[in-house]
Amino acid sequence: MNETVDTPPLALQARGLVKRYGSVTAINGADFDLRKGEVLAVIGDNGAGKSSLIKALAGAVVPDAGEIRVDGEVVHFRHTGDARARGIETVYQDLAVIPALDIASNLYLGREIRRKGFMGTVLRRLDMPAMRKEASRQLQELKIGITSVNQAVETLSGGQRQGVAVSRAAAFGNGVIIMDEPTAALGVRESGQVIELIKTIRDRGIPVVLISHDMPHVFEVADRIHVHRLGRRAAVIDPTQRSMSEVVALMTGAERPTDEEAGGGA
């Protein structure tokens, strides 16, 4: 590949992705590069196709054309389970948790642990103690102050729910964690907590894709900014080189990216 020697290797990459819904082209030849260990912000106007791009990377949408590589290896995701099997976890903006279920059950939903022996194999009984223990450990590690993993998610605040959703991703996402507008539904204080969570996850060495509208957040945590426009990548920005207003201008098309930025950044 044409990367220079000192750039870190890519965790997730896409080339020429296309997705059409009837006559609407949601992804129009989009490229995408996520380096190992970085926080990459994805920004774009409403309808720019950010969500479709992210869904393609997460396996929730199957692109019509183009290729996706995980650790340099070409993959074909048919559903979210395929992406998860490669360590790609997604936190969706509408807080994908089950309100009436407890935290531990939510964390393990879809990949429950069963007991060993007769109880597990024949009666298929869940190993709740193990799931609770591991869930507590995860929440502690991410500094989410929840006293009991037995309580129903509906008893939690919005920030705590997002914390549970992020913990679930962090618990299983050993490759990439994608967060779709994780702070959109939250207040100022809770948003700050989620931003801290993102830093904690990055410090563990797991790359994060952050889709956000919130420029101050983006500039606070992002190592690079992917600007999405008209269904494709318009530029990749180094946030130390550009101001927020310049980035917004790039996003709306009022300003043109440099050739380097348009080519995928330094």
Partner 1 sequence: MTTPTMAIKKTPKSTSTVQRARSRVLRSPLFGSTTALILAVIIFTVISPRFIAPGNISLILQQSVVIGILAVAQTLIILTAGIDLSIGAIAVMGTIVMAQVAGAHGPIVAMALTLVVCVVLGTLNGALVTLLRLPPFIVTLGTFTAIAAATRLLAGSETFQVDGALMTFLGNTVSIGSFRTTYGVIAMFVVYIVCGFALTQTAWGRHVYAVGGNPAAATLSGVKTNRTILSVYVISGIIAMIAAWAALGRIPNADPNAYQNANLETITAVVIGGTSLFGGRGGVLGTLIGTLIVGVLRNGLTLAGVDSLYQNIATGVLVIVAVAVDQFLRGRTSR
Site for partner 1 in 179-198 (CB under 8 A): 189-190, 192-193, 196
CA distance 47 to 188: 25
Structure tokens at 227: 């600007």
Which residues, 6+ apart, have CB-to-CB distance to 21 below 8 Å? none
65-70 sheet: strands from edge to edge = 24-35, 10-21, 65-70, 73-75
Nearer to partner 1, 40 or 104 (CB): 104
Check binding of 94 to partner 1 (CB under 8 A).
Answer: yes
When asked if residue 60 is in the footprint of partner 1 (CB under 8 A), the reply is yes
Q: Which position among 99, 129, 253, 263 is part of the footprint of partner 1 (CB under 8 A)?
A: 99
- At 68, give phi and psi (nearest 5°): -120, 135
- Give Cα separations from 1 to 4, 66, 207 (angstroms): 9, 17, 20
Give residues with Cβ within 8 angstroms of 33, minimum separation 6.
10, 12, 13, 14, 40, 226, 236, 264
Q: Residue 192 CB, nearest distance to partner 1 (Å)?
A: 6
Site string for partner 1, 237-266 (x = CB under 8 A): ------------------------------
Rounded to the nearest whole angstrom, what is the least distance from the CB of residue 86 to partner 1 in the complex?
14
Taking CB under 8 A as the rule, which mask of x and - marks residues 120-159 in contact with partner 1? ---xxxx----------------xxxxxx--x--xxxx-x
Q: Taking CB under 8 A as the rule, which mask of x and - marks residues 4-43 in contact with partner 1?
A: ----------------------------------------
Closest approach of Cβ 207 to partner 1, in Å?
Answer: 20
All residues at 6 or more sequence positions from 107 whose CB lies less than 8 Å from its CB, including other chains: 131, 134, 135, 138, 149, 164, 167, 168, 171
Under rule CB under 8 A, residue 109 binds partner 1: yes
Q: Does 110 bind partner 1 (CB under 8 A)?
A: yes
Q: Shortest distance, CB of residue 77 to partner 1, whole angstroms?
A: 13
Rounded CA-CA distance 169/206 in Å is 11
Considering only 67-75, 77-85, 231-239, 242-250, which stretch makes contact with partner 1 by CB under 8 A? 77-85
- Interacting residues of 204 by C-beta distance below 8 A, sequence separation 6+: 170
Distance between CA atoms of residues 85 and 92, nearest Å: 18
Residues that bind partner 1 in the complex, under the rule CB under 8 A: 60, 80-81, 84, 90, 92, 94-101, 105, 109-112, 114, 123-126, 143-148, 151, 154-157, 159-160, 163, 189-190, 192-193, 196
